[in-house]
Amino acid sequence: MQWLHAFEPVPYLDAVSEMDRIVAGVREGTEDEAVWLLEHPPLYTAGTSAKTEDLVDARFPVFESGRGGQYTYHGPGQRVGYVILDLNKRQQVPDIKKYVWQLEEWIIRSLAEFDVSGARRAGRVGIWVDLENGQEAKIAALGVRVRHWVTFHGVSINVDPDLSHFSGIVPCGIKDHGVTSLAALGRKVSMQELDIALKRHFSGIFF
């Protein structure tokens, strides 16, 4: 298992190319599975279920991602985790729903280290938190793709991004709830601290 970290924004197409290379290597047995933790320059990605009307203002580059889900934003201050695992080896019967549950659980346990109670919401993808005003907001998004039962793409966690950048889209097609971040919740967390938490909780969930 290889853990890769980037602390300068990685161009999106460069990241996709590198993911493709690792996925092919994992399938062929020439490359170890990987978790790649990084940031991107400001951009929007469209999943396979993206609706044209949910792109409100294309102020940043827009990329077709091939992952599941709808529109999402990536940018500085957001930790993206690209998770490349061979489900044929990790699950007796490859199960995408189980894998998505594991990604959610990974985020929930990692956020708990910073006294943030993330939770799933029925019918809504991602991890959500309750706000002091009685509202709720998304703090992390998920979008996965699988090729020959090797996973790629993954998760994004809002550490301290510019939340106004999300206004160019309807994030994940959900209009009734906003987005938040660790910083907006009053948690000062560095990327390195979050990476440590993510690595610490990984093996207890993905086995």
pLDDT in tens, 56-92: 999 999 999 988 888 999 999 999 999 999 999 998 8
Q: Tell me whether residue 207 is in a domain.
A: no
Total structural domains in the chain? 1
Residue 69: per-residue pLDDT: 86
- Pick from 158, 177, 174: nearest CA to 74: 158
Question: For position 111, which CATH number holds?
Answer: 3.30.930.10
Q: Is the pLDDT of residue 97 over 80?
A: yes
Question: Residue 164 has what pLDDT?
Answer: 95
Give 207 or 195, the one with higher predicted confidence: 195
20 in a structural domain: yes
Q: Is 172 a catalytic residue?
A: yes
Supply the pTM of this predicted model.
Answer: 0.95
pLDDT at residue 133, rounded to an integer:
87
Residue of 172, 185, 189, 198 marked catalytic = 172
- Is the pLDDT assigned to residue 14 strictly greater than 70? yes
Predicted pLDDT of residue 173: 62
The boundaries of the domain holding residue 22 are 2-202
Q: What is the pLDDT of residues 34-45, one digit of tens each?
A: 999 999 999 999
pLDDT at residue number 125: 85
CA 113 – CA 135 distance, rounded (Å): 22
In this prediction, residues 46-62 reach a mean pLDDT of: 92
Question: What tens digit of pLDDT does each residue of 143-194 get?
Answer: 999 999 999 999 999 999 999 999 999 876 666 678 999 999 999 999 999 9
103 lies in some domain: yes
Rounded to the nearest 10 degrees, how much is the dihedral formed by the CA atoms of 56, 60, 61, 63? -50
Read off the pLDDT of residues 105-124 as tens digits, 9 standing for 90 and up: 999 999 999 999 999 998 88
Radius of gyration of the chain (CA): 16
Q: Which residue has the tokens 């793409």?
A: 153
Question: From the CB of residue 22, how many other CB atoms can be counted at a distance below 10 Å?
Answer: 20
Q: What confidence score (pLDDT) does residue 200 get?
A: 97
